[in-house]
Amino acid sequence: MPRVVRIYENGGPEVLRTEELPLAAPGPREVLIEVRALGLNRSEAMFRAGRHIERPRFPARLGYEAAGSISAMGSEVEDLAIGDAVSIIPPPSVTRWGTYGELINVPDEYVVKHPSSLSWIQAAAVWMQSITAYGALIDIAGLAESDTVVVLAASSSVGLTAIQIANAVGATVIATTRTTAKKQALLSFGATHVVATETEDLLARVMDATDGRGARVVFDPIAGPRIGTLVEAMAQHGILISYGMLSPEATPYPLFPIVAKGLTLRGFTFKEIVLDPSRRARAREFVLQNLASGRLLPVIDKTFGFDRIADAHRYLESNEQFGKIVVTM
């Protein structure tokens, strides 16, 4: 029987249990994939810990991303074939179609034949960050060449993808990171400016970089008390897109500058894109085109074997990585 990872309670990485589990045949519109690699996401650690929007039903599977080859298909699947090398646009439920397993069933609408130039490891590290960054910056904010975007937690896989997408459309990127340790790496990667928030004045740096206008777009996975500074650093009629809640502290609502500047504060998750077939199709096309051109390429920080999934989660929560953590079979 194939091995899978499940949790029976919320907690730290130690609650991840690898066990053998029988797998049903794929449904009419499902694809059975032999997984070669899977990408880790911060949201999975939050789900494991009980801090995610989706609540687990124990025992719960988890995982959004994987790459592998098709082993079997349902009777109604079209445009795919046994043996195809594929990767997964994250389905809307982390536990219903969890990817932490040697064999997984996935609805065919979320299965993509990725470019052959990608390795299994790279292919497993494409879709969550790409859909998230594209959805926020392009689909919602309409990021353009004339814009400046502030990308928080910029050394994460989503942050790095946001930098690549912003560069692809010609926008100016102000990346943030906590310390100076990753500053040069972010500049080398393509950020126009980098702010180390523990030692530098974020508001002053943004205003200096924009000649006092402020940034039209802010892309924030953190929230918390710093939202007031972010709002002060925004341009008139700007948009702040919040896609995470990494800060354990409360998030105040800075009413006065929001009203005075006519700002939009917008919550976002990748599900907004993947649950809408037309928006998902546009996102898929954008990502595939930019993968093919080389403007978009996943950055892999570190890989772990499947039997070290708990260690991979510990590393994910250390905040030491620059890019994606991938687990291989």
pLDDT tens, residue by residue, 40-84? 999 999 999 998 888 888 999 999 999 999 999 999 999 999 999
Residue 215 pLDDT grade (very low, low, confident, very high; cuts 50, 70, 90): very high
Its pTM stands at 0.94
pLDDT of the residue at 247: 81
Of 100, 83, 120, 72, the residue nearest 3 (C-alpha): 100
SS3 category, 154: coil
Domains of the chain: 3-126+298-328 (3.90.180.10), 129-271 (3.40.50.720)
Q: 241: part of which helix (H) or strand (E)?
A: strand 234-242
| Tokens found for residue 225 | 């008390």
Mean pLDDT on 90-114: 93
pLDDT of the residue at 94: 83
CB neighbours of 178 closer than 8 A, spacing ≥ 6? 196, 197, 198, 319
95 versus 286: which is more confidently predicted? 286
The backbone region for 212, taken as left when phi is positive above 0, alpha when psi lies in -120 to 50, beta otherwise, is: left
Residue 241 pLDDT grade (very low, low, confident, very high; cuts 50, 70, 90): very high
Separation of CA 222 from chain center = 13
pLDDT tens, residue by residue, 254-265? 999 999 999 999
pLDDT tens, residue by residue, 136-167? 999 999 999 999 999 999 999 999 999 999 99
| Tokens found for residue 10 | 């919320």
CB 83 within 8 A of CB 116: no
pLDDT of the residue at 29: 97
The answer, yes or no, to whether residue 319 has pLDDT greater than 90, is: no
The answer, yes or no, to whether residue 95 has pLDDT greater than 90, is: no
Of 90, 117, 53, the residue nearest 268 (C-alpha): 53
pLDDT of the residue at 97: 87
Neighbouring C-beta atoms of residue 2, cutoff 10 Å: 13
Mean pLDDT on 116-133: 96
pLDDT of the residue at 283: 98
